[in-house]
Chains A and B, each alone.
Chain A
Amino acid sequence: MSNLEPAVHHSPLGDYQARKSVHPKRIDGAFRRFKWLIMAVTLAIYYATPWIRWDRGAYAPNQAVLIDLEHRRFYMFDIEIWPHEFYFVAGLLIMAGIGLFLVTSAVGRAWCGYSCPQTVWTDLFQHVDRFFDGDRNARMRLDAAPWTWGKVGRRLSKWTIYLAIAFWTGGAWIMYFADAPTLTRDFWAGDATSIAYGTVAVLTATTFILGGFMREQVCIYMCPWPRIQTALMDEHSLLVTYKDWRGEQRGSIKKAEKDPAAYGDCVDCNMCVAVCPTGWDIRMGPDISCITCGLCIDACDRVMGEVGRPRGLIDYITLEDAKAEAAGRAPRAAWRALLRARTIVYFVVWASIGAGLLFLMGTRTHTDISVASDRNPVFTVMRDGSVRNNFTVKLRNMESRPRLMRVTLTGLEGGAMWTDTMGAERAARQLEFTVPADETQSLRIYIVAPNGTQTQDIAFNLLALDGQGEGDVAETRFETPAGGS
């Protein structure tokens, strides 16, 4: 308590860290080309998918991928998912989670480096930067330059392109939830729902801000995934590593020429830092900032090639292999890092879930019957002493065409059934209904049984009267005042 000092007065902003702009330099190489490929594929999938048409006949939409929230249907090419089959989606999400475990345990933060949307869009925006303002040095100069009209113009035109990309991104999203051509027309005509405009506005804003300005700050400060990954990686996971045992003592070529014994392979050119999309210096070791995109490997390999030294001063390597290599032992083949118990177990779990889902998908029927008996009253005694039970029966037709279906009453001797829309005089043990395409038809079915009938189990048998001949059974109970087994 004795050394209490008067508080230092300063601006509150001083306690917070200002962002340091990152201006990654252009680089070409194997990993850069891989990133281009991934970017092209993922963006093409994202923007183009809703526009693929898929003929499903007259009773279903012809959009290949459609999440029809209004009608509670999810279409994906030849697959149609109903709400009660949501476990398929849950299964896919579990596969995605375990897939990330698998990928992370084997190749580290590959998701972060190549296919994370934040990475892809940041990469895209950085190319826009490069197109408008030139490469790293030109951009740094422009950043530091005073705000002239020329700079304002360049910034505004660049941000306009940012905004256009962001808008396109937000606009593409809503196409998954409605017929894309119709929605596009409605959107520009002002006839779309407010949800559509709101969603586009929000996603445009987030893309503009997160991709255009926040960039690596999202990975470093906002994203939980880098934190989770720390726990998922081990000494066998691939990491982008600077081989300090080979690189140190770093120094320029000139210094190294004077005293070759004192210097390692690193020529301290800083290229690895210049190309890094998050501004990290890989020579300081792995960090939450390193998304393992491999661009520093491209940069270093190029420099090593130019100065006539072997490539791979920065490389994908496991911690275990790094230790071995530093100790002078021969490195193991890369596949050894991929094929080990942990990755195999992850893969088996992942693949089993996938196989299970495929099996369920292949064996599911498109015809269902379900029944709920009235609980109040459980039975009604009629004037002649006969007993009536009421049931709500649902016939599910998951085919995209109307189907004639037959419901047959099993059990209950002397019983007959009818519906609330037909008269009791037409009661029968077998009723036929035309169930509309792609719908669940709800029926009120009344069953009456003679006086003295015991409480007993009964069943409704459903048979689709088409070539497919699918069927289903729903069991329930017929309650009477007489009681029974």
Chain B
Amino acid sequence: MANDQRPQVPHPGRRIDVPTGTETVGHEWDGIEELNNPLPRWWLWSLYATIVWAVAYVIAYPAWPLIEQGTQGVLGWTSRGQLEAELTAEDARRAPILQAVMAVSITQLPQNAALMSQAVAGGAAAFRVHCVQCHGANAAGSAGFPNLTDDEWLWGGDLPSIESTLLSGVRHPGDAQTRTSMMPAFGQGGMLSDEQIGQVTQQVLSLTGRGQASAVGGELYATNCAICHGTAGAGLRQFGAPSLNDAVWLYGDTAEAIHSQIFAPKHGVMPAWKERLDPATIRMLAAYVHSLGGGEDFVEAPADPVAVESDEQP
């Protein structure tokens, strides 16, 4: 093409095609012939170069699958090894953040906005791994598994309380500090008759302006329930007793659900995460959960805990 390559005299066994002036390759299939428009020679050298490259690659890197394991390659590269190196590098990158998170008291964490936002981001990542199984993808919970985005907290919604719940869990066997309380099975245990449970259920519903309060129901409630749930149903976080006078219901707000919970209550369990996660990750999880919209400000606990309860006494 570039230069006038057209041979004037064909090679033996070949002929010159008249219309194009090009030599044929010398093969013929039922009258069909192929013109010889040769590829450039550098193309052939490129092919040889790729072959050399392929051989070198097979020697240097894992290549041939064998029965047990593939060939290793002399460079010793593995995708798993590369992943480990990347994870190590990532751990090294995060180490200063984790140290900084642990260097301050958790009540001081919100004062450092940059550190707080790093903690929230780290907590969000850890939440997706360890917490979503029960609390849901965005911590919205479901029946029996608390919604962490609202402002209802069984065991306290300030940063130290959330961290404490995370560290020791709820009703986690073998942990001395775990959050523990047990509502009696009033029906199953024979403490209340079915009729009485119905009356108490109505009394509980009346706290949110729904059921029929009655003298008998009020009596039963005062005797059996008020000690933990409070006279007005405000609940008591010391025992993880849920408030009964608000719009948030862990096991459902229908009469059936409340009846069932009085008859034979379900008790949620959360693992003590200090057995599985490092303290910095737990603190970051606490920061994340606190940031979800219902977090409460930390208030220094009063010296006498009875003072808190006294609000709810008549």
Contacts and interface: CB of A to CB of B under 8 A. Distances in A.
Interface string B138-152: 101000000101111
Contacts of B138: 374, 376-377
Interface in B126-173: 136-138, 140, 147, 149-152
B150 A380 contact: yes
Given A17-B39, A383-B248, A390-B149, A420 B291 contact: yes
B149 A220 contact: no
Interface stretch (B41-49, B53-61, B223-231): B41-49
A217 B45 CA distance: 14
Interface residues of B, number: 39
Interface in B252-297: 291-294, 297
B246 A377 contact: no
A388 interface: yes
A451 B248 CA distance: 13
Interface in B235-250: 243, 246-248
B26 to A, nearest CB: 7
B137 A382 contact: no
A216 interface: yes
Nearest to B297: A423
Interface of A: 3, 5, 8, 12-13, 15-20, 22, 214, 216-217, 220-221, 278-281, 284, 287-289, 374, 376-377, 380-385, 388, 390, 420-421, 423-424, 444, 446, 451
B2 A444 contact: no
Contacts, number: 106
Interface centre among B147, B151, B152, B294 (most CB of A within 10 A): B151
Nearest to B140: A377
7 contacts: A8-B26, A18-B41, A289-B1, A380-B294, A383-B248, A421-B291, A451-B247
Given A383-B246, A423-B297, A446-B293, A8 B4 contact: no
B13 A421 contact: no
A contact face: mostly helix, strand, loop, or mixed: loop
Interface of B: 1-5, 11-13, 26, 28, 38-44, 113, 116-117, 120, 136-138, 140, 147, 149-152, 243, 246-248, 291-294, 297
A383 B150 contact: yes
A259 B246 CA distance: 118
Given A214-B42, A220-B2, 12 more contacts: A15-B38, A16-B44, A17-B5, A22-B2, A221-B43, A279-B3, A280-B2, A380-B150, A381-B248, A382-B247, A384-B246, A388-B149
Contacts of A17: 5, 38-41
Nearest to B120: A420
B262 to A, nearest CB: 21
B306 to A, nearest CB: 24
A16 B41 contact: yes
Contacts of A446: 293
A83 B247 CA distance: 45
A231 B19 CA distance: 23
A379 to B, nearest CB: 10
Which of B2, B38, B136, B248: most chain A CB closer than 10 A? Answer: B2
Nearest to A421: B113
Nearest to B149: A380
A382 B39 contact: no
Nearest to A387: B247
Query: Counting chain A CB atoms within 10 Å of each CB, which of B13, B40, B137 scores highest?
Result: B40
